[in-house]
Amino acid sequence: MTINKNDNSLYSLISLESFKSLLGIDDRDDKTACSCLETATSTIEKYCKRWLLRKKHSEQLEYSGDLQLPMSEYPVHRVLVVYALTVKGGDGEIVEPDFYSVIPECGTDCDYQFSILLSRAFLRYQGLSAIKAVYWAGYVVKPHPCGFTTRSFCDAKTPAKASKTAASMPHVPPDLSAACLELASWNMNRYKGRRIGMTGNVRGGGRDGEHFEMSIPENVKQLLEPYRRKTI
């Protein structure tokens, strides 16, 4: 599966402005704060074994006779295009929206796997081997006043369309935001050499040259548990 990330925006489960306000830091620490937020978000996604922030995915779903095909990433905001792939290879044939649906409905704020449900007509589709789906999935932070998470998302032609689009996107749940804040704060404190509020293991017994090992506190793990990808 391939993904496309928006490289022009901060990759964080909470906004820079919220982080600075809660920690009482100013613009001079913007670079460090951004680094701490992105590190915390990356750590959380690795722990949860899934992408959490909104991005575009391209995924091939193998077909074995079952008309309901689960997509890996969620929650799904929008399916852009679906292709039917055959054993003959090639780019595949575009599947019109009338011949499939998404369960649950796109834009639903449900944190579990979404699926593409194919029409029963596909039971007669000769040589069908897989379905390729291109879709947007994941959460967005509090939108920019224009209606998008950052100015780089401002591609809507009218403010009304921007607001409607933003409202349909699942926003980062409060417990995910809290987990990101906790870890990013720890990173910030470590960088500044503070001890208050730190989590993690300290090596060196307090001597000069000590360093810290990243760990996720138990309270943060509890916040993240509902969002971890379950594997069998």
- pLDDT tens digit sequence for 42-72: 999 999 999 999 999 999 999 999 999 999 9
Tokens of 160: 């009304």
- pLDDT tens digit sequence for 124-160: 999 999 999 999 999 999 655 454 444 444 455 555 6
- In this prediction, residues 161-189 reach a mean pLDDT of 83
Residues 6+ apart with CB under 8 A from 151: 144
- pLDDT tens digit sequence for 91-101: 899 999 999 99
Token pair 């951004």 in the structure block, residue: 34
Q: What is the C-alpha separation between 223 and 230, in angstroms, rounded?
A: 15
Q: What is the C-alpha separation between 194 and 189, in angstroms, rounded?
A: 5
Q: What is the pTM assigned to this prediction?
A: 0.78
Percentage, residues of the chain above pLDDT 70 = 74
| 212, β-bridge pairs | 202
Q: What are the C-alpha distances in Å from 98 to residues 18, 37, 231?
A: 42, 42, 32
pLDDT at 210 over 60: no
3-state secondary structure of 47: helix
**Quick one: pLDDT at residue 144?**
52
**Quick one: pLDDT at residue 182?**
93
3-state secondary structure of 197: coil
